[in-house]
Structure 1
Amino acid sequence: MKILVTGGTGFIGAALIHQLRDHDITVLSRDPAKASLSLGEPVKAITTLDQLENLNDFDAVINLAGEPIINKRWTARQKDTICRSRWGITQQLVEKIKASEQPPHTFISGSAVGIYGNQHDNVIDEDFAIEHVSRHDFAHHVCQRWEHIASDAASEATRVCLLRTGIVLGRHGGALAKMLLPYQFGLGGPIGSGKQYTPWIHLDDMVNAIVFLLNTPSAHGAFNMTAPEPVTNKVFSQALAHALHRPHFLFTPAFALKLALGEAASLLLEGQNAIPAKLEAAGYTFQHRDINEALQDILRHA
């Protein structure tokens, strides 16, 4: 297949492109030379979507681009950057899909479990009524608009899959890479009460599930990209400490996170007990269902 990928040099995107190396891949990158070097010579790179009049030449588009949502405080400027980095490029892709005489048969576009808001310990599958979430919830607002824009690409010729992604766990990037240092020094522990759910997924399953959706013509709509066995933050923290053979007795109080991150602390202090009901019903089989096994696998292959 000929596949266009945005966000291809990121944590998930780079792993996905490695998995798709037998296909004809084009990535969108601000630094094409660096992208080709890091991803491998067969991968083509373009600097802007304006280089493409339409997407007739592509069989599929995978849209993973977006400013990291937790790296900085949510100032008005940072919120605008987070929104524009997702909505703008998605809108461009949708317009080019709709301008194509022979559009890609598949459009896979990012989202996140943050669309569900803070649902405490309620089990959430893809049928959860997201319209009941507070409009003041920033993560929900970002994802709802993001999905709405992407869904406009759907037609008889193009199916749309939306990736409601949880915390993707891998050794050399994402959330886990940032957690390792304090845990390695024995300073890890639960965040806040530790009762909030952590909807996690192993990087291998994230990548394999995207490939599964790409190769499953009947798949469309939103999918929770989370492992079947979500755990609370306390259980996750215990599993990580155990995998690293480190003590587990400290904790990060909620007020400290709020001081450091402001409103963005809500992503760590709140959570979603999200399960991949639709993905499993479609036939995907998870390699890593248990958090203890998943963390041990990641750290063993470091």
Structure 2
Amino acid sequence: MTSQDKSAESKLTIANDKLASSKPTSDPKLPEECRPQPGSDFYAASVELPVSIDEAFAYHERPGCLNRLTPPWESVQLEHSDQSLQPGSRVVLKTKIAGIPVRWKARHVWYDRPHGFADVQDSGPFARWSHQHRFESIDDDRSQLTDAIEYKLPAGMAGKMFGSGKARRTIEAMFAYRHRVTKDDLQMLVDYPMSPKTIAVSGASGLVGGSLCTLLTLLGHKVLTITRDEHGDEDSIAAWGSPPEMEKFESVDAVVHLAGKSIAGKRWTPEVKQQIRDSRVEKTRSLCEGLAGLQSKPPVLICASATGIYGDRGDEILTETSAHGDDFLADVAGEWEDSCQPARDAGIRVVHTRFGIVLSPQGGALQQMLLPAKMMGGRLGSGNQWWSWIALDDVLGAIIHCIHREEVSGPVNFVSPNPIQNQDFAKVLGDVLKRPALFPAPAFALRLALGEMADDLLLASTRAVPEQLQQTGYKFRFTDLKDCLRSLLGKERKPAPQATE
């Protein structure tokens, strides 16, 4: 154990001892549901946050916090929420335990802003679950969050005997993830001090767009979704609808345009390729022409693009100034970026986010790789092709960076500083999952199954680096692939002692 690990464990031990020594029963403000019961297990973990106690509490109180902090490896769906922490408000989650669907119904029972709130399980996978979220002020600019859970497993002593280890590991992984995300999110308030802004986002139902809308809301901004409907409402803009709808952009501080037909959804027939092109090029050009014609224009447009613009380049290191490739994806990405010219000509700052492989178990490439990896799948083709990857949270953080930093414009590679060859990616993923990467997928088999898509998406080598992000001071959450995958797949845990009542 390193000295850093010992220090972290010591801090958590102190936090647990402190909580154990001042049990909820000594606090008259806490309701009966939060009082410890004999035979319960107790877990607590703390994290220091880089913001005041009021800002830390406000983050947890805003809509979407539960979704944001739900671990991405868990099969959990928010079925209902009153969007409140007030006593009596309820949340219903749908999850699976050993493949069996389960509804987890919880109720908030204590609220003392900004010092804490608590919820209890009414029905669900535990025999008992009581969760206290406690906030303490360290100084004007720092605070501490402590999550304290008292829980009982079902089936009495048998459940405790056979399930306590698994339950403990699950809880540890969950709060390691939650605390990392909470701390990193709130650090953005320090790194990017902005007054609350109104930000319009297209592609809000997608992996990146949906996550971005949630994070922007949690950081105190107002989000308007851009839709393809004929009419919008107070929370949306029908950008390709009537002129009055387009005028809504005059009250917007930034536009983030992420919409486009999935390039991995279907085999690339001529019809599908035309749909991919039109959904990006034509729609973007129409949007930019509309923005250019406004009396009061949004200061910045962040428009999606892709590292596919470079094509298959072997071992060449690719920066934002590298030449474009000559395959289908390179052509589409090039036209996509060119379609923003009307906005640029109108004086709008335009940023092209050239996405690499965005990693999240909830969608995209990683979601598709998990099952083969668990079955000991290995490299694709030769495995020598370079993959430029980036964690989903770094995509979100880099978008906010581009909104805030006025010197950022033009193409920006949205990739981690450390691209990796496919054969090494497969090995790292296998190590995290504790599976050897034994069985390669031959190139001819991939081409037979996917056609042209196999060459452009899986076998092409793109060794891109984030020169623009690094030069303008973006701090990556993840630069090491193994660290990233461990966090995303629930393989990291905080060491924290457990107390049993």
TM-score past 0.5 threshold: yes
Report SS of the residue matched to 1:49.
coil
Task: Give 3-state SS (helix, strand or coil) of 1:69's partner.
Answer: coil
Aligned to 2:203: 7
Partner of 2:236: 45
Q: Does 1:194 align with 2:387?
A: no
1:146 paired residue number: 336
Measured in 2, the distance between the counterparts of 1:31 and 1:92 equals 15
**Does 1:271 pair with 2:485?**
no
C-alpha distance in structure 2 between counterparts of 1:122 and 1:89, whole Å: 32
3-state DSSP class of the match of 2:379? coil
Aligned equivalent of 1:27: 225
Give the match for residue 278 of structure 2: 84
Q: Which amino acid aligns with 1:23?
A: H
Question: Partner residue of 1:223?
Answer: 412
Paired-residue identity, %:
37
Pairwise CA RMSD: 2.0
* Change over 3 Å in CA distance of 1:301–1:154 after alignment to 2: farther
Unaligned runs of 5+ in 2: 1-196, 493-501
Q: Which amino acid aligns with 1:88?
A: E
Q: Distance in 2 between matches of 1:253 and 1:279?
A: 35
Secondary structure in structure 2 of the residue aligned to 1:153? helix
Contact between 1:104 and 1:157, CA under 8 Å: does it hold in 2? no
Q: Secondary structure at the match of 1:190?
A: strand
Shift of 1:47: 4.9
Mind listing any 5+ residue stretches in structure 1 that lack a counterpart? 37-42
CA distance in 2, matches of 1:237, 1:44: 42
Partner of 2:372 in structure 1? Answer: 182
CA distance in 2, matches of 1:129, 1:30: 33
The match for 1:112 is 306
C-alpha separation between the residues in 2 aligned to 1:269 and 1:83? 21
Task: Choose between structure 1 and 2 for higher RCO, CA contacts under 8 A separated by at least 6 residues.
Answer: 1
CA 301–50 in structure 1, closer or farther in 2 if over 3 Å, else same: farther
Matched, 1:58 2:252: yes
Equivalent position of 1:210 in the other structure: 399
AA of the residue aligned to 1:232: Q
The alignment partner of 1:189 has SS state of: strand
Aligned residues: 289
| Alpha-carbon distance between aligned partners in 1 of 2:199 and 2:340, rounded to the nearest angstrom | 17
Q: 8 Å contact 2:202–2:258 — kept in the other structure?
A: yes
Seen in structure 2, the aligned counterparts of structure 1 residues 301 and 20 have a Cα distance that, compared at 3 Å, is farther
Q: What TM-score comes out, normalization by structure 1 length?
A: 0.91
The letter of the residue matching 1:15 is: S
**1:62 aligns to what SS in structure 2?**
strand
CA distance in 1, matches of 2:225, 2:286: 15
* Partner SS, residue 447 of structure 2: helix
Corresponding residue number in structure 2 for 1:98: 292
What CA distance in whole angstroms lies between the structure 1 residues aligned with 2:332 and 2:363? 23
Separation of aligned partners in 1, 2:424 and 2:351: 31
Does the CA-based 8 Å contact 1:165-1:226 persist in structure 2? Answer: yes
Which of 445, 449, 461 pairs up with 1:260? 449
Give distance in 1, aligned partners of 2:328 and 2:362: 28
With structure 2 as the length reference, what TM-score do the two structures score?
0.56
Q: Are the aligned partners of 1:8 and 1:17 in contact in 2 as well (CA < 8 Å)?
A: yes
Give distance in 1, aligned partners of 2:328 and 2:450. 14
Higher strand share: 2
Distance 2:250 2:402 in 1: 21
SS of the residue corresponding to residue 91 of structure 1 reads helix
Aligned partner of residue 429 in structure 2, secondary structure: helix
Once the two structures are TM-superposed, the CA of residue 71 in structure 1 deviates from its matched residue by: 2.1
Cα shift readout 1:60-106 (whole Å, capped 9, x = no counterpart): 11000011112211100000110111112211210111111110000
1:245 correspondence with 2:438? no
Q: Is this contact kept in 1: 2:292–2:346, CA < 8 A?
A: no
Q: Which moved more, 1:84-93 or 1:213-222?
A: 84-93
Q: Which stretches of structure 1, 4 residues or more, deviate above 6 A after TM superposition?
A: none
Q: Distance in 2 between matches of 1:69 and 1:3?
A: 26
Distance in 1, Cα, partners of 2:208 & 2:412: 16
Between structure 1 and structure 2, the one with the greater Rg is 2
Q: Conserved in 2, the CA contact under 8 Å of 1:74 and 1:264? A: yes
Q: Could you tell me whether the CA contact under 8 Å between 1:107 and 1:160 is conserved in 2?
A: yes
Whether the 8 Å CA contact 1:87–1:145 is kept in 2: the answer is: yes
Aligned to 1:285: 475
3-state SS of 1:181 partner:
helix
Contact (CA 8 Å) 1:224, 1:279: kept in 2 or not? yes
User: Structure 1 8/251 Cα, relative in aligned 2: closer, same or farther at 3 Å?
Assistant: same
